[in-house]
Amino acid sequence: MTHVELDPGPTVTEPESQPLDPAGTGSQRGTPEPARAHESDGGLSESARAPEPDAAATPHDTIDHAVDEPVFATRGLSVHYGSAPAVLGVDMRIPAREITAFIGPSGCGKSTILRCFDRMNDLIPGARVDGEILYHGVDLYGPGVDPVQVRKRIGMVFQKPNPFPKSIYDNVAFGPRVLGAGGEMDEIVETALSRASLWDEVKDRLKENAFGLSGGQQQRLCIARALATDPDVLLMDEPCSALDPISTGRIEDLMHELKETVSIVIVTHNMQQAARVSDRTAFFIVDLTAGEDRRIGRLVEYGPTGRIFTNPHDTRTEEYVSGKFG
């Protein structure tokens, strides 16, 4: 059933009322082969383009390509640091206005892939990105694409809250100011802080230094800062790993509200968090077959969160989500 919907082409397919069919994908569960994700990247993208009729025989029923309205579509996405491969052969389509979670053990390359989506990998000396990342059909790494323009559309929230050493107001206003945004700045700041559900807590001390806020408030300030430029996508790199459970809960609630208007991709170490907040989950793994010192990240399984956690197709996913390793 699913393979009929498979269309990993760059253009957005016509929206369907029923975006996903968990029962359908579950029905074609094949015998998981541990070695399947180690196959060549060419094989992955090849079959993604032209799915074979025998779904059980293809090694890729673990990657669900049935996304109606993808905001990102990657094809053969690989990242190298110097000559060492970090992540190889990622083919996935990330839906608009949903929350997609990247999970997997340390070093599996989930943050590396996330940083490709707003070209933050450009800042790491020696990082090289191969393959395609289509953002609404445009290759983000294509010639003539300015990373600064990419980052204006795609916001990012980092692992550790990183407010600027300025007032709360100036933190939020910084993005709109550098973009030369017109309009009433006070209004922009208030809207962004409200969307990050921080306004009520800080409205009386907007001129105070942002370092005076608690860790959870600082992280929500960073979210507000990213929202102030009205991005299309919000990338979140383990945004709650430095926060206490209450602050984490507030940010998760916030994500649910935000996905009405913004597509969210979140990297998380916390599987419960992925299960709680995300609509789709991608599971990455560290592939050690090339040797202990050549750790290669690979995408093993990707699909609706409910299915990944209750009915994983790959034994490694099953072992990871049931807590057997990682």
Partner 1 sequence: MSDLAGPNPAPEGLYAQPARAAEVLGRQRLRERAKNALFRGLLLFSLLLGVVALVVLLADVLDRGLGHVWQVVTSFPSGLPARAGAQSAIMGTIWLMALVALFTIPVGVGAAVYLEEYADRSRRWNRLIEVNIQNLAAVPSIVYGILGLGFLVRGFVGLGQTLLAGALTLSLLVLPTVIIASREALRSVPDSIRHGSLALGATPWQTTWRQVLPAAIPGIATGTILGLSRAIGEAAPLILLGALTFVTFNPEGLNSAFTALPIQIFNWISRPQDEFKLLAAGAILVLLVILLSMNAFAIWMRSRYQKRW
Residue 97, beta-bridge partner list: none
Least distance from C-beta 51 to partner 1, angstroms?
36
Residues 87, 112: contact at Cβ < 8 Å? yes
Contact 282, 65 (CB under 8 A): no
The reply to whether 311 sits near partner 1 by the rule CB under 8 A is no
Handedness of CA 178, 184, 186, 187 (dihedral sign): negative
As measured in angstroms, the least distance from the Cβ of 324 to partner 1 is 34
Token pair in block for residue 106: 């340390």
CB of 43 to partner 1, least distance (A): 34
Q: Which is nearer to partner 1, 51 or 163 (CB)?
A: 163
* Distance separating alpha carbons of residues 240 and 246, to the nearest angstrom: 10
Contact 162, 222 (CB under 8 A): yes
Given a contact cutoff of 8 angstroms between Cβ atoms, the answer to whether 100 and 38 are in contact is: no
Piece of 2-10, 154-162, 239-247, 254-262 that binds partner 1 (CB under 8 A):
154-162
Q: Which stretch binds partner 1 (CB under 8 A): 19-27, 28-36, 158-166, 260-268?
A: 158-166
Indicate the residue among 208 and 319 with the shorter CB distance to partner 1: 208
Q: Per residue, what are the HEC states of 225-243?
A: HHHCCCCCEEEEECCCCCC
Gap between the Cα atoms of 100 and 31, Å rounded: 26
Q: Which is nearer to partner 1, 27 or 149 (CB)?
A: 149
Contact string 113-142 vs partner 1 (x = CB under 8 A): -----x-x--x-x-----------------
Q: How many residues belong to the site for partner 1 (CB under 8 A)?
A: 26
**How many C-beta atoms surround the C-beta of residue 231 within 10 A?**
20
Binding piece for partner 1, criterion CB under 8 A, among 46-54, 57-65, 98-106, 224-232: 224-232
Could you say which of 225, 259, 295, 298 contacts partner 1 (CB under 8 A)? 225
**175 touches partner 1 by CB under 8 A:** yes
Q: Does 95 sit near partner 1 (CB under 8 A)?
A: no
Longest dimension (CA), the chain: 63
First to last CA, the chain: 32
Q: Which of 87, 101, 222, 299 binds partner 1 (CB under 8 A)?
A: 222
Q: Is 182 in the site for partner 1 (CB under 8 A)?
A: no
Q: Which residues contact 104 (CB under 8 A, 6 or more apart)?
A: 110, 283, 284, 285, 286, 297, 300, 320, 326
Which residue among 23, 84, 178, 290 contacts partner 1 (CB under 8 A)? 178
User: Per rule CB under 8 A, is residue 164 in the interface with partner 1?
Assistant: yes
Residue numbers at the binding site for partner 1 (CB under 8 A)? 118, 120, 123, 125, 148-149, 151-153, 155-156, 158, 160, 162-165, 174-175, 178-179, 211, 222, 225-226, 229
